[in-house]
Amino acid sequence: MTQPHTPKKPGKSLLPAIAGLAIVAGLIAGVYVLSSATSKPKAEASASLASGTAAAAAQSGYGRFATGALSRLQIIASPPAQPDLPLYGSDGAPTQLAAFRGKATLVNVWATWCAPCISEMPTLAALATEYRDRGLLVVPVSIDEANKASQARDVLKGLSGGALDFYIEPSKQLPVALLPKGGALGVPVTILYDSQGREIARLTGGADWASPQAHALIDAALAAS
């Protein structure tokens, strides 16, 4: 997995407010490809809390899971709505992320050319197997080219031992549609949705989804659903 880029520290002569912003930027830069994001103003966070969205509730709860194997976990105050782009299964039939509502869903956007995607996929398969009868769906979505769908399907089968169903979004618009305001494009990106399709948390870059931290996050999400 590519090591996170750490911005240079500001000089001592900079104003404290600027130094504070630099520290925030350094923390955000720990993401694999998502190297920067915009801090949300307090007013926006307050509005999100008032709206009762899952992301707002997570601000005071799910953020505690951003440690260890999930140290790059992000809780976004105003996350983008779940995209309605068409996905295609192994049989070529179209579907959408909305079709998985009713259960907590962990959506993983990946590609065969993405090394961190390949590295973390077996841990996603292990998570799916562990929680299959406990109400969690793990949905990997490839953004490989349409003419490489068969190759991507075979790669997924090999990495997951057949534990994960194959989906592809060949237009490559899914990563863009998933971007929060001020975010930067990158894969893999894994987003946890509640049973109503509302974002709980996300992680950009590879992670160990079979770790105790991942289990703790999923357990909390299932308990709240």
pTM value? Answer: 0.74
Q: Whole-angstrom Cα distance, residue 180 to residue 175?
A: 10
Domains of the chain: 16-224 (3.40.30.10)
Host H or E run for residue 175: helix 174-177
Host H or E run for residue 88: strand 87-89
Kindly provide the residue ranges of all beta strands, DSSP E only, lying in the chain, ordered along the sequence. Answer: 87-89, 94-95, 104-110, 136-142, 167-168, 189-193, 199-204
pLDDT digit string (tens) for the chain, length 225 residues: 444 443 344 444 434 443 343 333 343 333 334 333 333 333 343 333 334 434 444 444 899 999 999 999 999 989 999 999 999 999 999 999 999 999 999 999 999 999 999 999 999 999 999 999 999 999 999 999 999 999 999 999 999 999 999 999 999 999 999 998 878 788 999 999 999 999 999 999 999 999 999 999 999 999 997
Tokens standing for residue 124: 């996603």
Closest CA to 32 of 172, 216, 160, 175: 175
Tokens standing for residue 210: 């079979």
